[in-house]
Amino acid sequence: MTKLPLAGIRVLDLCIVLAGPTCGRTLAQYGAEVIKIDPEHRPPQLTPWLDVGRGKRSIALNITKPDGLNTFLKLVDSSDVILEGFRKGVTDRLGIGYEQLKTRNPRLVYASINCFGRSGPWEFRPGFEQNAQAATGVQLRNSGGKGQPRPATFTLNDYGTGIAAAYGIMMALLEREKTGEGQQIEAALSYTSATISGPYHVTHENYVRNDIGGPGARGLHALHGLYESSDSWLFLSVSSNKEWEALCGIKEFSGLELEEEFSSDHLRSKNDLLLRESFEKIFEAHSTTYWIKTMGSIGIPLVKNVTAAEIHSDEFNHGRGLIRGNDYASSVELNSSWGNTSWAGNPVIMSETPLQDVSPPIFGGETVAVLEELGLTAEEIDRLRETGAIPKVLPIKI
């Protein structure tokens, strides 16, 4: 395999939930050695572990214990990147803040990931995906123009922030090649949320703001919307007069062209509800397969709404790496209970740098191995067990 671009980079990942661990997993997929550090009393949930725990070495280390902290600091000396997702001020109290660690390792790239950033009136507030959505208008715009906010039910900001942080870390590592110095990277769910809803934050002279307009309006109108066929749901997009004319060339839609209410863009917009009602009756008369074939023949985009099960059952998705997985049922390790597992692939494909097909670790499974590589003796490792810095029994089943 081609040498991966982050080979030789060591990352210490202290994060939980999704954003920070997504960052660590992304770095691991490009070749970094990512050591996931958790205390024994903080076992992860299995689903995110299989997703964003992949590609990491897991050690159970309690840095609130003096011996645990000293061991962590020894790891810092040989590391390139720190990932942390604590509220502002917590790392300083623990003795692992950026200013504290860069005195030991000036080349350290230190990534801080939270919801609202490290400055401003909300700098000390905790927060998660839905908090970031609310703070940046996403839930209002997700209402479909009906006025009542509605949370987006996917974690776009968690995953987006993790990938953004990985991008920032890679840039900082590239800059370090020029200067020899590390730096602190800051990423926040609310920053990501504002960025990916960028069209709503553009202003110019005589601009009239419409939080439900612009690109977000697609999906809310007759020509850009969801319809139910005889057997499933589909999404229609008609974006031009040429496509409208092509649509009306289909026998099921031919009568619409003759109706005065739909004879121009302006009238179709004005009579949107009436047009939608007409479309609903037409689409429910045939199957989605019929409509995809029919619309495809005239170049109109129409996509079936598919379930996760359908995505997983499509062999093409496995072949192109959209879905990856492994069967652990025959494993003699603790992860044998995972059985046949699967997870989503990476969104980026590089022609000359194939990604590692990384798997999840066993929780705490490499604790002793990492400590031995650090140079600790058997007696020193036993002392860590006695002081509660590492568990007495390893690994730990989740």
- What does the pLDDT read at residue 214? 54
Given a cut of 80, is residue 211 above it in pLDDT?
A: no
325 and 295 assigned to the same domain: no
36 and 141 assigned to the same domain: yes
What mean pLDDT value characterizes the chain? 91
Pair type for strands 323-327 and 109-114: unpaired
User: pLDDT category, 358, cuts 50, 70, 90?
Assistant: confident
Q: For the segment 236-251, what is each residue's pLDDT rounded down to a tens digit?
A: 999 999 999 999 999 9
Report d(CA 277, CA 256) in Å as an integer. Answer: 12
- What does the pLDDT read at residue 147? 66
**Number of structural domains, the chain?**
2
Q: Which residues contact 16 (CB under 8 A, 6 or more apart)?
A: 38, 42, 44, 85
Nearest Cα to Cα of residue 114 among 125, 100, 130: 125
Given a cut of 70, is residue 213 above it in pLDDT?
A: no
73 and 183 assigned to the same domain: yes
Please provide the DSSP assignment of 113-168 as one string: EESS-SSSTTTT----HHHHHHHTTHHHHTTTTSSS----SS-HHHHHHHHHHHHH
Nearest Cα to Cα of residue 83 among 43, 125, 113: 113
Report d(CA 389, CA 391) in Å as an integer. Answer: 7
Given a cut of 70, is residue 4 above it in pLDDT?
A: yes
Range scoring the smallest mean pLDDT among 37-51, 124-138, 143-157: 143-157
Report d(CA 19, CA 163) in Å as an integer. Answer: 8
Report d(CA 142, CA 319) in Å as an integer. Answer: 34
Q: Is residue 258 part of a domain?
A: yes
> Best-predicted range by mean pLDDT among 296-300, 347-351, 354-358?
296-300
Using only C-alpha atoms, the chain has a radius of gyration, in whole angstroms, of 26
- What does the pLDDT read at residue 390? 98
- What does the pLDDT read at residue 121? 84
Q: For the segment 184-203, what is each residue's pLDDT rounded down to a tens digit?
A: 999 999 999 999 888 888 88
Give yes or no for a contact between 364 and 394, defined as CB atoms under 8 angstroms apart. Answer: yes
Nearest Cα to Cα of residue 156 among 164, 146, 145: 164
Residue 232: C-alpha distances to residues 18, 259, 332 (Å): 32, 28, 43
- Residues making up the chain, counted from first to last: 398
24 and 77 assigned to the same domain: yes
136 and 270 assigned to the same domain: no
Catalytic residue among 158, 231, 272, 314: 158
Report d(CA 139, CA 130) in Å as an integer. Answer: 8
Q: Residue 189, Cβ neighbours under 10 Å: how many?
A: 31
Read off φ and ψ for residue 256, nearest 5 degrees: -65, -35
159 and 83 assigned to the same domain: yes
DSSP conformational letter for 273 = H
Report d(CA 153, CA 146) in Å as an integer. Answer: 17
- The residue-averaged pLDDT of 168-174 equals 98
* Sign, Cα dihedral of 56, 59, 64, 70: negative
State the residue range of the domain holding 281. 233-304
Given a cut of 70, is residue 1 above it in pLDDT?
A: no
72 and 120 assigned to the same domain: yes
- What does the pLDDT read at residue 212? 63
pLDDT above 70: percentage of residues in the chain: 96
Pair type for strands 323-327 and 340-344: antiparallel
User: pLDDT category, 349, cuts 50, 70, 90?
Assistant: confident
Residue 158: active-site member: yes
The pTM assigned to this predicted structure is: 0.90
Given a cut of 60, is residue 2 above it in pLDDT?
A: no
Count the helices and strands in the chain (H runs, E runs). Answer: 17, 11
DSSP conformational letter for 258 = G
290 and 326 assigned to the same domain: no
Given a cut of 70, is residue 368 above it in pLDDT?
A: yes
Q: For the segment 80-99, what is each residue's pLDDT rounded down to a tens digit?
A: 999 999 999 999 999 999 99
Supply the CATH number for residue 127's domain: 3.40.50.10540
170 and 61 assigned to the same domain: yes
